[in-house]
Amino acid sequence: MKRLILSIAAVVAVAVTCLAAGRDTYTVIVSLDGFRWDYAEAFDTPLLDKMAQQGVKAVMTPSFPSKTFPNHYTLATGLVPDHHGIIANSFLDRKTGDIYSLSNMKTKNNPKYYGGDPVWLTAKRQGVTSATVYWVGSDVNLRGGGHADYWQDYNHKPRLKPYERVNEVIRLLSLSEDKRPHLIMAYFEEPDASGHSHGPASAQTRARFEDLDLMLATLWNRMQELPIADKINFIVTGDHGMTWLNPERTVPVKKYLKTEWIQTIENDVPAMLYVTEPRFADSIVSALKCVDHIRVWKKDEIPAYLNFGTNPNVGDVIVLPDVGWTFSDRKAGLMTGTHGFDHTCSDMWVGFRAIGPDFKRGYTRESTFRNVCIYPLLCYLLGITPSENDGDLNEVSDLIRTGN
C-alpha cells in the first residue's frame, strides 16, 4: 500500500513538472491604464501598428464597473469583480464598517478583500516563476501564496519611473534560466491620468500615448536583443477606456435624496449607496427612477448583463449615470474625462495587441472579447492549469497560433 501511495505521488510530481515545463516560452503582459481601444487608431503609434501587422489586434470589453482596481484584478484572476471581491475602487466593508479604497493602506493591503487566484499565484503553485511590476493586487500579501517570485511595492517611494519599469522587465528576462520568470506583468499609469485631466481625444492625451508607444518600442527592441527573443509572447492591453465629462452633465444627489436615508455613497460612476435602514433603498429608487441621465437599481435588481450585485459589499442601491454624466454633489470641472460606465458602451472598451510565437500573424479580430478571458489565455501560454474562473479560453482561441 505504502509503495502504491509513493508511486501515485511520483506520477503526480512528474505530471506537474511536465505541465510546468510544458512550455519554454515567456509571456510579458503590459497594462496601459485607460488604454481606450481607438487610441491606437487615432494616434501615431508605430509599435502598436507593427504588433497588429505582425501579431494580433483586437478590442476587449472590461468588466463592470469599468474602473482600475476591479478590472486589473479581473485580468489577473479571470473573475468578474462581483466574484473576486474588488467590486470598486472604494466600497464599504459591511462587516467592519471600514472603507476599502486604493488610497487607504490598511484596507488596500488586507488580503481578505482579494478573492480568486491571480495568475502569478497559479503559476507559483505549479512551479512556474513569475514577476509583477505594480499590477493591482500584486503588492498585497495574498492569502494562499503571498506575492509573485519578483514584485514591486506600489507604496514604496520613489516608485519606478516608466523607463525604469522597462529596465526591470529586461533585467528579469536577462536572469539565468533557473531564475528567469516565465510571466511578467507590468503596469503603467498612463494614458489614464492624461485622459482624466484633458479628455480622451485631447492633444495632451495624444502626446502621452505616443510617448508610451515609443517606450513600448524601446521595450520591444531590447527584448529582440535577448537570446530568448523568439520565445517571448508580448501582450499590450489595459483595464478600461475613457470618455468626456462635461461639468453641465451632473445629476446632483442632494436635490433628490434625504441625508438621513444614506450611510455613505462610494464613487460617482457608478455610485454605490449604502442606506441607514433597509426601507430607504425603496425611498431612493422611487426618488431617482424618473430622473433623466441615470439608471437606478436595488442591489438584487441589477440587470444580469452587468454581473454585479451578489457580492455582500455591493451598495444597497446602484446609480449608473449615462455615458458622460456623473451623479455627484462635488464641484464640477475638476475632471475632463472619466470611466466606470456601462462596460458594454464602446467608449469603455480596451485596446489589445499581442505578438510572439503563440500568436497568429497579421490577424485582426472583428468581434470583442471579455477581459475575463485573459486569465485562461495566460494560463494556456504558461502551460499551467487555471483555477476556476469566469472566462473561456475558447472565446480567444482564434488569436492563438497552432503549428507553424
168 binds, among ligand AMP, Zn ion, none (CB under 5 to 8 A by kind): none
Stretch that binds ligand AMP, among 17-25, 77-85, 117-125, 186-194 (CB under 6 A): 186-194
Minimum distance of ligand AMP from residue 164's CB (angstroms):
16
Size of the site for ligand AMP (CB under 6 A): 12
Of residues 136 and 314, the one with the C-beta less far from ligand AMP: 136
Q: Write the binding mask 19 to 48 for ligand AMP: x where contact by CB under 6 A, - elsewhere.
A: --------------x---------------
189 binds, among ligand AMP, Zn ion, none (CB under 5 to 8 A by kind): ligand AMP
Applying CB under 6 A, does 349 fall inside the site for ligand AMP? no
Grid cell locating 109:
493591503
Applying CB under 6 A, does 102 fall inside the site for ligand AMP? yes
Applying CB under 6 A, does 111 fall inside the site for ligand AMP? no
Grid cell locating 305:
448583463
Minimum distance of ligand AMP from residue 321's CB (angstroms):
15
Applying CB under 6 A, does 266 fall inside the site for ligand AMP? no
Judged on CB neighbours under 10 Å (0-12, 13-18, 19+), 285 is middle
343 binds, among ligand AMP, Zn ion, none (CB under 5 to 8 A by kind): none
Minimum distance of ligand AMP from residue 336's CB (angstroms):
13
Residue 159, beta-bridge partner list? none
Q: Judging by DSSP bridges, how do beta strands 26-32 and 183-188 pair with one another?
A: parallel
Q: Which position's Cβ is nearest ligand AMP? A: 68
Applying CB under 6 A, does 58 fall inside the site for ligand AMP? no
89 binds, among ligand AMP, Zn ion, none (CB under 5 to 8 A by kind): ligand AMP
Q: Write the binding mask 114 to 133 for ligand AMP: x where contact by CB under 6 A, - elsewhere.
A: --------------------
Applying CB under 6 A, does 89 fall inside the site for ligand AMP? yes
Q: Which residues 6+ apart lie within 8 Å of 113 measured at CB?
A: 85, 86, 93, 100, 107
Applying CB under 6 A, does 190 fall inside the site for ligand AMP? no
**Site of interaction with Zn ion (CB under 5 A):** 33, 68, 192, 239
Q: Which of 58, 136, 302, 314 binds ligand AMP (CB under 6 A)?
A: 136
Q: Which residues 6+ apart lie within 8 Å of 128 measured at CB?
A: 20, 182, 183, 382, 383, 384
268 binds, among Zn ion, ligand AMP, none (CB under 5 to 8 A by kind): none
Of residues 239 and 390, the one with the C-beta less far from Zn ion: 239
Which amino acid is located at 253 in the chain?
Answer: V
Using CB under 6 A as the criterion, which residues of the chain lie in contact with ligand AMP when the complex forms? 33, 67-68, 89, 102, 134, 136, 139, 154, 187, 189, 192
